[in-house]
Amino acid sequence: MYLSQGFRPFLRTTPEEQNTPSAAVQEFSNSLLRVAGHIRGFCLVQNGKVIAEEYRKPYESGDRVWVYSVSKSFASTAVGIAIDEGLLALDDSVLSFFPESAPLTPPKNLRAMRVRDLLCMSTGHAEDTTLPILMSPDGDWIKMFLSLPVEYEPNTHFLYNTGASFMLSAILQKAAGEKLLDYLAPRLFAPLGFDDVEWDENPQGINTGGWGISLRLEDLAKLGQLYLDKGLYNGRRILSQQWVETATSFQSDNSKTDNQAPDWISGYGFQFWLCQHGAFRADGAGGQFCIVMPRQNAVLAIMSETMQMQAILDAVWGELLPRLGNMALPAENDISGRTYYMDDNELGIHQIHFSFGKEMIKLSFSGANSCCLEAGRGCWLASETAMPLGFRAIIPMFSQASQPKRISAWSCWLDPNTLEINWVYLDTPHRDKLICTFTGGRIEIFCPPSGAALFKKQGGMRLGGAVKVST
């Protein structure tokens, strides 16, 4: 087990600060829940900062989770570092590391198998070697792997073969003189500020390679950021750029496999899947993902339990990717601190003042009744409000005007000119929203009818106003 010397998180920011609308993130989150059913959480990183994250109860951000075949990409990373250090080479023969475990007369295809073939799942086997090595009567997985038939010439036939990933771990241990987990500890986990990491071992004390690593969700995103930044992390060189580009480029043709889902036939690198839209990913059974989107300068890590893995990727491509970094910046600097003088209205609101902070926004209302509303930016923020009873589309019908109401409010930009604010009344079943549209020096506010307003057969409300122009 690798024990961290202190977890180091990404910096945090809002989606809008990276030109991504919070609404797009929320819609993606809703889509994830629909298509996957059981989402543990996700962490979205853009331009090197976390712009959104979600952990569904009872799960927590610090949980260490078994991520199945995402382990393969960590094993590949270890091999890349070892190659950079000169401990082994892509064209090294697999047999050259284990002469003591080789058959007496190794067949031609086995003799031709290289480290490169293990990495890109083109060992030449017709069937996955995982079950046979697991069933080895003496627990010698290496010897069993080398005894299995190699029906095809290596580098001619793609087969997703988890036994090949185990052999990468075994080769690394033989070349480096230490286990894969221990080798990566000072070279990857510590410089990236990982939390504690565990990795399963086989009966001979070799990390399983193709599965068995346990880490936290944000650590998974850090692997993606390392590859997105071509082997650099916070300015420190961890992997060579050449390795990163080779590992995440087309190495094997996987288009003739049984799984014809679009993102399973786009090509395979060195223990990384190539995706549509110029993306690539590490993934694991049940819906574990580390998706790297170079064109959007973004990384998305997901942990879930689902059999609908293509549906999750479809949600990423359809709901999230087109809107990452594509939102024109809202004119917050122009709006913040500005006072809008409202047209005559039945609520007696004379002025509305906006303030935009890094983590929250604040609306101040003045007139017949003065009050304020505070909302988190892309997250829920608890506060109190004393909005007037006459604000029929906002205040539940049985509230008392003189009492502040406990609320939790959330805000996001729908587009550069439209701000939405949602809130719930924590002591009631009710919720409400405002949709504010800014055009030049004018504001239009729409208050959709709340559940309480509909109960009273009342519709929504509209208010308008403008900034006073000095003459």
Neighbours of 317 (CB within 10 A): 17
How far apart are the C-alpha atoms of 142 and 204, rounded to whole Å?
10
Q: Is 53 strand, coil or helix?
A: strand
* Residue 377 banded pLDDT, cuts 50, 70, 90: confident
Q: Do residues 114 and 90 touch, judged by C-beta distance below 8 A?
A: yes
Give tens-digit pLDDT for 390-411: 344 444 444 455 577 888 998 8
* Strand-pair partners of 439: 442
Element (H, E) at 27: helix 22-36
User: Is the pLDDT higher at 274 or at 57?
Assistant: 274
**Across residues 40-61, what is the average pLDDT?**
94
Which DSSP state fits 87?
S
Residues written for the chain: 471
What pLDDT does 471 receive?
A: 46
> In degrees rounded to 5, what are phi and psi of residue 337?
85, -5
pLDDT in tens, 323-340: 898 776 667 878 888 899
Q: Assess whether pLDDT exceeds 70 at residue 187.
A: yes
pLDDT reading at 347 higher than 90: no
Q: In CATH, which of 3.40.50.300, 2.40.128.20, 2.60.40.1180, 3.30.365.10 is domain 332-466?
A: 2.40.128.20
Backbone dihedral region for residue 234 (phi beyond 0: left; psi -120 to 50: alpha; all else: beta) = left
Kindly tell me if the per-residue pLDDT of 451 is higher than 70.
Answer: no
Q: Can you give the pLDDT at residue 458?
A: 64
User: Looking at the chain, which residues constitute the CATH 3.40.710.10 domain(s)?
Assistant: 11-323
- The average confidence (pLDDT) of the chain is 90
Q: Compare 250 and 453 and report the one with higher pLDDT.
A: 250
In which band, very low, low, confident or very high, does the pLDDT at 389 lie, cut at 50, 70 and 90?
A: very low
What would the pLDDT profile of 73-96 be if each residue is shown by its tens digit? Answer: 999 999 999 999 999 999 999 999
Task: Give me the mean pLDDT over the 356-383 stretch.
Answer: 86
What is the DSSP track for 186-200? IIIITTTT---BEE-
Looking at domain 11-323, which of 1.20.120.850, 2.170.190.11, 3.40.710.10, 3.40.50.300 is its CATH number? 3.40.710.10
Rounded CA-CA distance 47/421 in Å is 26
pLDDT at 350 over 50: yes
Is the pLDDT score of 412 beyond 90? no
- The pLDDT assigned to 450 comes to 66
pLDDT bin (cut points 50, 70, 90) of residue 348 is confident
- The reported pLDDT for the residue numbered 236 is 95
Name the residue with tokens 């086995």: 110
pLDDT of residue 397: 45
- Read off the pTM: 0.78
> Which pair of tokens denotes residue 401?
């005007």
DSSP string, 102-167: S-SS--HHHHH-BHHHHHTT-S--SS-SHHHHHT-TTS-HHHHHHHS---S-TTS-----HHHHHH
Per residue in 243-259, pLDDT (tens digit) is 999 999 999 999 999 99
Provide the pLDDT for residue 396. Answer: 44
Order across the sheet with 280-284: list the strands: 11-12, 49-55, 39-46, 298-304, 288-293, 280-284, 273-274
Distance in angstroms (rounded) separating the CA atoms of residues 465 and 438: 10
40 compared with 447, residue with greater pLDDT: 40
- Structure token digits, residue 375: 């909302």
At residue 357, the pLDDT reads: 84
Query: pLDDT tens across 112-164, in order?
Result: 999 999 999 999 999 999 999 999 999 999 999 999 999 999 999 999 999 99
Higher pLDDT, 174 or 458: 174
Q: In terms of pLDDT, which residue wins out, 226 or 457?
A: 226
- Mean pLDDT across the stretch 295-321? 95
Structure tokens at 300: 């998305």
Question: Residues 67, 284: contact at Cβ < 8 Å?
Answer: yes
Mean pLDDT of 209-217: 97
Structure tokens at 241: 């750029």
